A and B are shown apart, each in its own frame.
Chain A
Amino acid sequence: MSDQDEISRLLADAAAQTEAAPTRNQPADTPGGPLSPESDASSLAEASPASAVARKLPTRIGARNSDVLGFAWLNGSLHAAAFRRQKMTHSWSCSTPVRTVAEFEAVIDEALVSVEFAGTDTFIVLENEIFAHQADDIPLFAESAQRAYLKSRVQRHEKENGPVLWVMQPLITLHQKQSILLHLLPKSFYVELHHVLLKRHLDLTRILPLIVPLQYELNRIPAGKNTTVIVAAEIGTSTAVVAGRVGGPLLFSRTILADLNREPSRVGVEVNRSLLYTKQHFESAASSVWLMAQNGVSAAAELQAKCGAGKKVVALPSTPVDWLQSAAKLSPQQPINLLSRYLKAKRRTQFIRGGFLIIAWLGLALMISSYFHAASDWRTEQAQLIRLRDRESDLRADRERLERRNSSTERDLAFANHVTTDRLPPVPASLLGFVAKLLPEGARLVEFNVRWDAEAGSWSFQFNGSIEADDETARTLIAVLQDELAKSPLRVRFNENGRVLMATPLVTPGAPEVQRFNLEGVLFEK
């Protein structure tokens, strides 16, 4: 059983349950939020007693169908058209007046069958007595202040008239004031309508005021850009008048409760008033009046008579189905939509769900891939471990051999180092040679000692001798000797407390003076 058949079956079950139990909560993702049992019951009480017949949807190839269904419900006249990629495929017009939701429900199945609609996305162009449009001029606030102002205004309206769906349409800006049109639709009406459509698996995504397709038509009028024009459109038993600039902002709109075909003179008077209002209020006279009606030629003559010879009145044969086509060409995200917040929430929901699905499946794929690689790695590791077990005896032998080799190497190197690098340099002979070379004339050594102090790791020396010179000369010569030895590569350092010089008493009178010296110190060269 396909999804679509299953949906049809479930719809039938749901319809039967609706018959049996009249209360049914509105889903939370609809703009109205959960309904109270009272409002739900009242809405159903107003609904048609006719049985809700589940729509048997035409067979579809794919699970999704991007076709769009449009309704134009204009003051009792109901028209429907199905669109595929913005091109109309079928249309249908109701032969009887449709004024209530119950009457709408009674004819909707016929409409669905006629237009052979198999999708879910539905929009409606609405104009009736309960759909209010309030014109206002508001100061040019910041956007947030403007939103707060409108919210408080809507709240005041709701206190008197009950909850509404609303949307603000900006019109022209003049004298630091923004003209706006506030579209207000009672929520109870929407709930009833939504309920009727839901039973037929139709997702109502847009509720558009008639002014939206009319503005689209106005912008297509063959007149110069920014030319002010007036459009009068036949909407059932009433006439809508829209003034605006081609390719520019709308100036105002109004609804005349007079049938264009039956009371053309009255409509003509009102259109003339609109012309005068436009000239006075917006300081730009409308150059032409465009009459959009199924058969507006006769009415055009009447309007021409009322509006004066200077005004051009042109009849544009058009029907509500044409306006549906205009509405279908508009972007689904266009802002003048009473359900725009619902659409945003719906897109957000779809995005989150899609994101979650992608993440979940991607995560699963990554996890499987990761586990697959881990299992593959483990198999390789297992094989290596088994090979390792087979090589265990070889490994043990290797370890013993390598330990022996490495310890032997270590020992050999230590031994070689000990023998070759721990040798002492020939310091005693070098110092002796050095001292002998530097010893001044007339000096002679009596004793010379050099020894290696293994604990201190240094050489110490002590030598003494005598020098034939007076005291001062001897001191100078010994100082020079000390200095030379200190600067030598042997880096000699003398002990400060060593005796340096001592006069020898004269044995023979007249003999030269002899001074004895004794030097001690260390060598830093190892």
Chain B
Amino acid sequence: MKNKLRNLGVACWHILTEVPGWPDAPRQLRVRRLLPVVIPVVAMLLLLCWSQIWTGPRIQTVRTAYQPLLELEREVTDLQLAGSDAKAAEAASLAAEAGRMLVPEPKEIAPVLTEFTRAALSRGWEATFQALPVPAHAGDTPMSFVTVRGKLVPAPGNAQAFASLLVVLAQFSPPNRSVDLTRLAIRADEQGRQTAEVFLRVGCRLPE
């Protein structure tokens, strides 16, 4: 192995230092012939050393020092990309519109119920509503649902009780109000007299 390496080295030496037409040229001339090979190789090594030992670490140090700032810039860019002012305005508009569907606060639910009572009466049903206590708020959104229990009996003289009940029930879930019918129970006695019990879920805005 050692001899092979030595022979390889000698062969390389002869190839790289060959003087054209002078196979046994003296060492001095061979060294001179080697210069065009050695110069770029040495220059490359020097450049590599300069890069690895001096420039590279220096650049790395500066980059490390600026890393928090770069992070900050990246964060700002990410935040800019995550949304836009137009989208924010649109979201605010949607939120405002949704807010208008809610009762401003749980205490102000009575006018709504009065409105429902009046609407039922106009359709031949006598309605009484009772708001149940507001449960503890447990969500992220500034709203809660108030459960309202209602009892409906046909007003005297209401010959089309069942048909009018369907209309009354539809009026309890208007599209512009966050009120949903969650339970309906109807009973008819032997004489055909109907009573209905409803549970409504009324959306209320919570104070900020």
Binding site for B on A (CB under 8 A): 6-7, 10, 13-14, 24-30, 64, 119-121, 198, 201-203, 349-350, 352-353, 356-357, 360-361, 363-364, 367-368, 371, 375, 378, 382, 385, 388-389, 392, 395-396, 398-399, 402-403, 405-406, 408-416, 418-420, 423-424, 426-429, 432-433, 436, 444-452
Which of B10, B143, B184 is A449 in contact with, Cβ under 8 Å? B184
CB pair A353–B18 under 8 Å, yes or no, is yes
| Contacting residues of chain B (154-182) with chain A, CB-CB under 8 angstroms | 162, 165-166, 169-170, 173, 178, 180-182
Binding site for A on B (CB under 8 A): 10-11, 14-16, 18, 20-26, 28-29, 36-37, 40-41, 43-44, 47-48, 51, 55, 59, 62, 66, 69-70, 72-73, 75-76, 79-80, 82-83, 85, 87-88, 91-92, 94-95, 97-99, 101-102, 139-143, 162, 165-166, 169-170, 173, 178, 180-188, 192, 198-199, 201, 203
Given known contacts A201-B21, A403-B79, A356 and B37 CB-to-CB distance under 8 angstroms: yes
Contact partners of A350 in chain B: CB under 8 A? 18, 20
Nearest chain B CB to A471's CB is how many angstroms away?
23
CB pair B98–A420 under 8 Å, yes or no, is yes
Residue of B nearest to A365 (CB): B40
Which of A10, A385, A413, A416 is B28 in contact with, Cβ under 8 Å? A10
Contact partners of A408 in chain B: CB under 8 A? 88, 91-92
Report the bound CA distance from A446 to B194 in whole Å.
9
A to B CB contacts below 8 Å, 7 in the list: A64-B20, A349-B18, A353-B18, A392-B72, A415-B141, A419-B178, A449-B183
Residue of A nearest to B56 (CB): A374
CB pair A388–B183 under 8 Å, yes or no, is no
Contact partners of A360 in chain B: CB under 8 A? 37, 40-41, 44
Which of B66, B142, B186, B198 is A415 in contact with, Cβ under 8 Å? B142
Nearest chain B CB to A523's CB is how many angstroms away?
12
CB pair A367–B98 under 8 Å, yes or no, is no
CB pair A447–B98 under 8 Å, yes or no, is no
Nearest chain B CB to A351's CB is how many angstroms away?
10
Report the bound CA distance from A64 to B187 in whole Å.
121
Nearest chain A CB to B151's CB is how many angstroms away?
15
CB pair B101–A420 under 8 Å, yes or no, is yes
Majority SS at the chain A contact face: helix
Nearest chain A CB to B33's CB is how many angstroms away?
9
Contact partners of A378 in chain B: CB under 8 A? 59
CB pair B22–A7 under 8 Å, yes or no, is yes
Contact partners of B11 in chain A: CB under 8 A? 28
Contact partners of A447 in chain B: CB under 8 A? 185-188
Q: Top 10 closest A-B pairs, CB basis?
A: A120-B21, A203-B21, A412-B95, A428-B184, A419-B98, A402-B79, A27-B23, A412-B91, A416-B94, A424-B180
Nearest chain A CB to B148's CB is how many angstroms away?
14
CB pair B170–A388 under 8 Å, yes or no, is no
Nearest chain B CB to A420's CB is how many angstroms away?
6
Which of B36, B85, B94 is A405 in contact with, Cβ under 8 Å? B85
Given known contacts A10-B28, A416-B91, A357 and B186 CB-to-CB distance under 8 angstroms: no
CB pair B29–A413 under 8 Å, yes or no, is no
Contact partners of B55 in chain A: CB under 8 A? 375
CB pair B29–A446 under 8 Å, yes or no, is no
CB pair B44–A364 under 8 Å, yes or no, is yes
Given known contacts A7-B29, A353-B15, A423 and B186 CB-to-CB distance under 8 angstroms: no
Given known contacts A360-B41, A419-B98, A14 and B23 CB-to-CB distance under 8 angstroms: no
Nearest chain B CB to A31's CB is how many angstroms away?
10
Report the bound CA distance from A375 to B47 in whole Å.
12
CB pair A429–B97 under 8 Å, yes or no, is no
CB pair A448–B40 under 8 Å, yes or no, is no
Residue of B nearest to A394 (CB): B76
CB pair A28–B166 under 8 Å, yes or no, is no
Given known contacts A349-B18, A357-B37, A415-B143, A406 and B92 CB-to-CB distance under 8 angstroms: no
Contact partners of A411 in chain B: CB under 8 A? 95, 140-141
Contact partners of B192 in chain A: CB under 8 A? 444
CB pair B16–A399 under 8 Å, yes or no, is no
Given known contacts A203-B23, A415-B98, A429-B169, A363 and B14 CB-to-CB distance under 8 angstroms: no
CB pair B182–A451 under 8 Å, yes or no, is yes
Which of B79, B162, B169 is A406 in contact with, Cβ under 8 Å? B79
CB pair A13–B26 under 8 Å, yes or no, is yes
Contact partners of B94 in chain A: CB under 8 A? 412-413, 416, 420
Residue of A nearest to B16 (CB): A353
Most buried by A among B21, B24, B25: B21
Report the bound CA distance from A418 to B88 in whole Å.
17
Which of B73, B76, B102, B182 is A452 in contact with, Cβ under 8 Å? B182
CB pair A388–B69 under 8 Å, yes or no, is yes
CB pair B23–A428 under 8 Å, yes or no, is no
* Additional A-B contact list (8), CB under 8 Å, known A428-B181, A452-B182: A353-B15, A356-B15, A367-B48, A385-B66, A411-B95, A424-B182, A449-B186, A451-B183
Residue of B nearest to A402 (CB): B79
Report the bound CA distance from A30 to B23 in whole Å.
7
CB pair A24–B40 under 8 Å, yes or no, is no
Nearest chain A CB to B74's CB is how many angstroms away?
10
Most buried by A among B24, B69, B70: B24
Which of B43, B101, B170 is A419 in contact with, Cβ under 8 Å? B101
CB pair A418–B26 under 8 Å, yes or no, is no
CB pair B173–A26 under 8 Å, yes or no, is no
CB pair B15–A349 under 8 Å, yes or no, is yes
Report the bound CA distance from A192 to B94 in whole Å.
105
Nearest chain A CB to B35's CB is how many angstroms away?
11
Report the bound CA distance from A448 to B44 in whole Å.
93
